[in-house]
């Protein structure tokens, strides 16, 4: 029980200190003798996910799968171009 408590408190302590460093204040000199602190919000930019193409395998004797989703590069590595199959190329 002690080990679980120790690990939990250590992890939570690291998370708290790392999030405290994430927002840092910029200090600027507004006038002689006056200090103004501003914070700049850091907007998290979501990572762009590659487009996936989902194809239904309808060959006779093929295992029953509703659809298989892969990126175009993954399909092309298997010798199949999904854009030709769906008529966009």
Each residue's pLDDT tens digit in the chain (89 positions)?
A: 545 455 456 555 654 555 545 555 555 555 566 665 566 666 677 788 889 999 887 777 777 778 889 999 999 999 999 888 888 77
pTM: 0.42
Structure tokens at 23: 């927002």
Going by C-alpha positions, the residue among 2, 51, 66, 37 that lies closest to residue 10 is 2
What separation, in Å, do the N-terminal and C-terminal C-alpha atoms of the chain show? Answer: 61
Which residue's structure tokens are 């298989």? 68
Q: H/E element holding 4?
A: helix 2-22
Domain boundaries, the chain: 50-56+66-88
Chain centroid to CA 54: 21
pLDDT, residue 2, reads 46
Structure tokens at 62: 């093929």
């Amino acid at each position: 029980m002690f080990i679980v408590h120790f690990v939990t408190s250590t992890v939570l302590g690291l998370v708290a200190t790392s999030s405290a460093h994430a927002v840092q204040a910029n200090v600027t000199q507004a006038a002689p003798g006056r200090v103004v602190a501003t914070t700049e919000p850091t907007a998290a930019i979501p990572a762009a996910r590659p487009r996936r193409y989902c194809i239904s395998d309808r060959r006779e004797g093929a295992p029953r799968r509703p659809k298989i989703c892969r990126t175009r590069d993954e399909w092309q590595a298997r010798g199949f171009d999904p854009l030709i199959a769906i008529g966009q190329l």
